[in-house]
Copies of this chain bind each other. A is one copy, B any other.
Amino acid sequence: MLKMKDFNMKAFFSPASIAIIGASEDFTSIGGKPIRNLINHQYKGKLFLVNPKYKQIQQYKCYPTILDIPTEVELALIAISSKRIKDVMEQCAEKKIQYAVLFGAGFAELGSTGEKLQQEVLQIAQKADIRLIGPNCVGCLNVLEQIPMGFATSFEAQTFLSGNVALASQSGAFGYSVFGLAQEEKIGFSYIANTGNQVDISTLDFLVEMLNDEKTDVLAAYLESIPDGEQFIDILKRAKEKRKPVIILKSGRSQLGQKAALSHTASIAGSSDVYEAVAEQYGAISVRDMNDMIDAMKIFSRKKYASGSKIAVVTTSGASGIAMADLSEEYELEMAELSSKTKEMIEGIIPSFGSSLNPIDITLQALNNKSILSDTIEALVEAEECDLVVVATTLGGKLGEKVCQDIIELDKKTEKPIIVTLTGRKDIVGGGLNILQNAGIPVYQTPSQTIQAISMLVKHSKYIRRSKDQTVTASQILLDDPQNVWTEEKVKPMLKNLHFNIPRGVVVQSEQQLQSVLNSFTFPVVMKVISQNILHKTDAKAVKVGIETKQEAINSFYELIENAQRYSPEAKIEGILLEEMLTEDGIEMFIGIKHDPTFGPIVACGFGGVFIEVLKDISLRKAPFGKETALEMIKSLKGYPILTGTRGRDPADINAFAEALSHVANFAYRQGALLKELDINPVVVLKEGKGIVALDGIISWGESLP
C-alpha cells in the first residue's frame, strides 16, 4: 500500500473551502441538506456547489464538475450515487482535492461487488494523495466553530453547545443520537466525527487526533471493529499520560467469541473476551449503551478525579439514602465512615430528627432552614474521610435553585468530586437542573444513574493513580530446535528459566538407561511417553503416576511403549520421561497464551476442575505485563479465594504464580507471532513461600523460529 500523507483532522473540521458534489436544490435531500446546514450556521469559508443539473442554487453558482471551479478547494463532500463515484473521484484527483467525505451508501456493506468498488475508490484516492472519510457516513461536525458538514438530523439545531468532549463514531445514527441527547443535558462538545465504512480514515485515527487536540479533555467512541490493535492500545496508553479519559462503546459483543472451544485452555479466549480484557487492562471506560455513554461524558467532562472509593451521601429523603447505600454495595463503592469530628459538625447543622450517619438525612427541614443542605455539603467537602460527595435532592423552585447555586460555589473551591441526584419533574426542579448543567456539575435523575457514573469515575481514577507496571525483562532463551510443536521435555527446561519449578526428570531410551538413573531418583516417580505424534498422553494411556518401586518402573517402561504403539502405530517414540512425582499439596491452575490477530499475545490463567469446566472462570490480559498486572489478573478470578486460603487451608504462593505469569507473558511477547499457542497445564501452586511447579507444557510455533 502507498504511504499516504499524514491525516490531520483540522482539514476535515476547519476547511478553508468546501465543494459539495451532487449539490441539490431540494434541501431535504442528502445533496441539499449539507448546503442548508452550512448556510444556516454561516460557514465562513468558501462554499462551491457542483451539479451539472443546475446553474445556480440559491445565491450560489453551480458548477458542472469540480474541475470547473476556478480556485483551489480543500474539502469535497461527495453526495452522489456509487455508480458515478469513480468518475467523480478521478476529477477530484485531477483537481488536486486533498480531503473528501463520501456520504453514499452502496459499498462494502453490500458484499463483494460493493467492497470491490470501495477498493477502487481507495486506489484512486491513494494515487492522488486524497484522504477519505466514509463511504456510508453522514458527515462531521466542528462544534467549537459551529461548522456542520453533512446531513445528520442533529445539524438542524439552531446552535451547538461547545465543550471539551470529542466523539468519534463509526455509526452516524449512534454518534449523532448521542450528540443530540447529550446536548439536551448541556454536555458541550469540541468535534464529532463519523467514519462509516472507514475505507481510509478510521475512528481510531480520529481518536489519535482528538487526543492531541488542546480543547478536548474527554474522548468517546463507538466502534464496530478494531482495525488496528496496536493503535488502539497506543491511544489508551497516551490517553493515560495526557489524563484524557476514553469512553468506548464496542458493539457486536454477542457475535464474537461465543464458540471459543473449551477443549484447550489457550483457545478459550474468544475475540470479544479479548477485547474486553484489553480495554480493561489499558483503562478504557467501557459502556454498554448510549445512556451510559452520556452519563460517563457528564462525570468525566468535569475533570475531577476521585482519590478513593469512599462516598458520603447527603439527602433530603431517607429513601434515596437507602437506595444509594444499596447501590454502592452493588457497584463496589464504600459508604465513608464519618469521623466524630465530621459527625459533630453535622449534628450542629441538621435537625435532631435527621441522621448524621452516612447517608446523611437532613429531612425536608431543608424547606424551612435554607442553609442546612449547603452547610452539610461544605462539612463533607472538608472531611478527609470521604473521597466524593453525593447530594440527592428533590428540592424545586427558588429554594432548589439557591441550593444548586451553593453547590456550584462549593464545587469551585474543591478538587473533590461533587455529584448531584436531582429527582423530579422538569416543571418543578428544572430551574436548579439548568443551573447545575450550565456549570458542568454532573447531575443525574436517579440514584442508580448516579452510582453507576460514580463507579466509572472511581474505577478510572484508580487506574490513573496506578504507577506504571514494570514489565520484567524477558530472559534470553535459546530456541534451538525449529519444530512446530514442542512437548513437555522441551518446554519444561525453558519454563525453568521463566521462574517455574519443574520436577526433576530425565528422558530414557532403554531399560538399561532407566535402571541406571533410577538409583538417583526418589520414589514415587512418574513416567510419560515422549512423542511428537502423541500430544494427548492421557488418552493414549501414555502416562503412569505413583510408581513406587524399581520393578514397577521397569514394567511401566514396556507397558507405556506398548500403549503408545497401540494408540498410534506409526508414532515415533523419542523416549520415556522419568520424573520425580510432586507429593506436596497444591492448587492446580493453568496458563495459556494465544496469538490474537488484533492484539497479539493474549495470556489466560485460571483454575483447573469445575472452575474452568463449569464456570469458564478465566482471566485474560495482553502481554507484556508486570507482576502488578499479573496479580490483578489472578484477583479477578471468581475462584481467587481458593488461593488466599478458605476454611482452614493455607494460603497459596500467589506471589510466585504472579511472577511466573508475567515472565511467561513477556517471553511470549518477545516471540511475537511466531508463538502461536502455549499451554502450561497444570501449574501447581504450592503453599506460600514454596513456589509453583509446572507439570506439563506444550508450545505450538508458527512458520519458522526466530
Contact = CB atoms under 8 A, between A and B. Distances in A.
B323 A251 contact: yes
A183 B615 contact: no
A447 interface: yes
A363 interface: yes
A448 B394 contact: no
A69 interface: no
Contacts of A289: 323, 327, 446-449
A149 to B, nearest CB: 18
A326 B426 CA distance: 33
A312 to B, nearest CB: 16
A552 to B, nearest CB: 23
Interface in A330-379: 330, 352-353, 363
Band of interface residues on A: 35 or more
Nearest to A448: B289
Contacts of A253: 326, 329
Contact of A394 (B173, B317, B320, B610): B173
A224 B322 CA distance: 9
Given A171-B317, A171-B318, A291-B449, A326 B251 contact: yes
Nearest to A171: B319
B448 A319 contact: no
B291 A325 contact: no
A300 interface: no
Nearest to A256: B326
A56 B517 CA distance: 113
Contacts of A174: 317, 319-320, 323
Q: Kindly report how many copies of this chain are found in the complex they form together.
A: 2
Nearest to A263: B647
Contacts of A326: 251-255, 288
A229 interface: no
A177 interface: yes
Contacts of A352: 110
Contact of A642 (B447, B449, B610, B638): B610
Contacts of A317: 171, 173-174
A154 interface: yes
Nearest to A641: B614
A396 interface: yes
A293 to B, nearest CB: 10
A180 interface: yes
A574 interface: no
A640 B338 CA distance: 43
Contacts of A448: 288-289, 291-292
Nearest to A253: B326
A161 interface: no
Interface in A426-464: 426-428, 445-449
Contacts of A254: 325-326, 328-330
Contact of A426 (B184, B446, B641): B184
A105 interface: yes
A478 to B, nearest CB: 37
B110 A353 contact: yes
A123 to B, nearest CB: 23
A173 B325 contact: no
Interface of A: 105-106, 109-110, 153-154, 156-157, 170-171, 173-174, 177, 180-181, 183-184, 222, 224, 251-255, 288-292, 316-320, 322-323, 325-330, 352-353, 363, 394, 396, 423-428, 445-449, 610-611, 613-615, 638-639, 641-642, 646-647
Closest 7 pairs between A and B when the two form their complex, measured CB to CB: A173-B317, A171-B319, A289-B448, A254-B329, A174-B319, A180-B425, A251-B322
Given A289-B447, A291-B445, A614-B638, 10 more contacts: A184-B426, A255-B325, A288-B448, A289-B323, A289-B327, A290-B423, A292-B448, A610-B611, A613-B641, A614-B646
24 contacts: A109-B353, A110-B353, A153-B394, A153-B396, A154-B425, A171-B319, A180-B424, A184-B425, A184-B426, A224-B322, A252-B322, A252-B326, A288-B326, A289-B323, A289-B446, A289-B448, A290-B447, A291-B445, A291-B448, A610-B611, A610-B642, A613-B641, A614-B638, A615-B639
